[in-house]
Structure 1
Amino acid sequence: MQAQSEVYTLNPKIERIANILHLVGWVSFWLQLGLGAASALMLIFAISGRNFSQAVAPTPGVPVPTYTQGTTPGIGISIFWGICGILALLFTLYLAFRITRFSKRLRNPDPALHPHKAEVMKVLRVAVIAGFVGMLLTILGGGSGLGVLLSKSIAQPQGVAIYDPNRIIRSLDIFVATASMTGITAHFIGAVASLGLFNWLHPEL
């Protein structure tokens, strides 16, 4: 039994697979976590920053416009899809962490504790699908946010002061669109990493 454990511990094929799972799993996890945190922070700033520009210094003789920061058409939908994308990213982060656990189990000298090929492939397959679903959600959010920016830029009169707050491009709109683009990047990294592992491990395991 001891000799069999040593053979499995020193098996170069198992060791190579464990190393690849460990490297790709952790790189994918930390990249997605960093980008997801940035996207979440931008969404938080966008939601909480609706009233940032409400304090306008009054000018004598000039009527002060009333800014309604939360009435921009399309921004609420963009924020909703962005939050859905963040939730999907949390699930892909869990799957990336599971991949690193597979690596740890493969390094165990007891072959009975090694993950089965079907189990690893199932997690990778689900991770690929979750990555593409997350990209779709954040694309919907980014598309609606960019649509708001486009409609506002077209509606702005050129060369004159703008007193209609609904025509002003605010930092809120840009934050939401940027958060969606960052979320798309995070989901893309997760999907590519999982798909690459799936294609590489299929003939290996």
Structure 2
Amino acid sequence: MLNQPDSSAIPPAIRQIATNFRWTGWISLSIQAVLGVVSTGVLILASFSGRAGAASNATRAGTGFGIFFAVCGLVALGISIYWSFRYVRISRQLRAPNTSLRPSKADTIQLLQLGIVLNLVGMLLTIVGAEAIVGGLIARAIAQPQNSPLLYGVNNIPTIQPLDFFVVQANTNTIAGHFAGLVSSFWLLNRVNR
């Protein structure tokens, strides 16, 4: 028990903020990690299955562009997951009995604002990817002959595959992950500014 700081030396307000940072950081990290892993798996599956049907890749205009931005959004989500872990580390620093080791309120607010910007940029990249992917799906749906089933090709017209819907779902999961990061950062910012 030598590693435990003396909690009586820490003001109750700072102790409460440290607890908020710890719980919010872990919850945000968990939600974003689950959504990010699922999205990554789906996008990897989509990229490998896309290589198997190279002939149909040429007809999927917008999909490559969309997947590029979806991957950029996933990279930003990975950075946001690390940022959530930083919130847990800030919690430990706030609990330090030595006041010189604690981050200042201004530094903490700056860290939270940077987390907000990071999630907004990641969300923007993912939304651009989603727009390109959905636009490509709409173009393929419109190109289908009126009496043909949507999921089966006729005369080499590109079709919408079930995997295409998983790619849309992967983008939606990534957007939800960024949203979870935004909510946690805004909530913590609210708690710090009280």
2:39 corresponds to which residue? 39
Q: Which of 127, 130, 150 does residue 142 from structure 1 map onto?
A: 130
Q: 2: CA distance between counterparts of 1:93 and 1:51? A: 30
Q: 2: CA distance between counterparts of 1:140 and 1:164? A: 31
- Offset at 1:177? 1.7
For normalisation by structure 2, the TM-score amounts to 0.87
1:194 corresponds to which residue? 185
1:83 corresponds to which residue? 71
Structure with higher Rg: it is: 1
1:93 corresponds to which residue? 81
- Structure 2 residue 62 is matched with structure 1 residue 74: yes
- Offset at 1:79? 0.6
Q: Which of 126, 129, 139 does residue 114 from structure 2 map onto?
A: 126
For these two proteins, the number of residue pairs brought into alignment is 185
Q: 2: CA distance between counterparts of 1:143 and 1:177? A: 9
2:3 corresponds to which residue? none
Q: 2: CA distance between counterparts of 1:6 and 1:32? A: 31
Percent sequence identity over matched residues? 35
Structure 1 unaligned residues grouped into runs of 5+:
55-66
Deviations 1:115-164 (A, max 9, x none): 11122111100000111111100001111111111111121113337324
- Structure 2 residue 12 is matched with structure 1 residue 25: no
- Offset at 1:94? 1.6
Which segment is superposed worse, 136-145 or 176-185?
176-185
Q: 1: CA distance between counterparts of 2:18 and 2:67? A: 39
**What letter corresponds to residue 65 of structure 2 in structure 1?**
I
Decide whether the 8 Å contact of 2:69 with 2:129 is kept in 1: yes
Give me the CA root mean square deviation.
1.8
1:183 corresponds to which residue? 174
Decide whether the 8 Å contact of 1:8 with 1:111 is kept in 2: no
1:59 corresponds to which residue? none
Specify the SS of the correspondent of 1:132: helix
Q: 2: CA distance between counterparts of 1:179 and 1:166? A: 25
Q: Which of 119, 134, 141 does residue 153 from structure 1 map onto?
A: 141
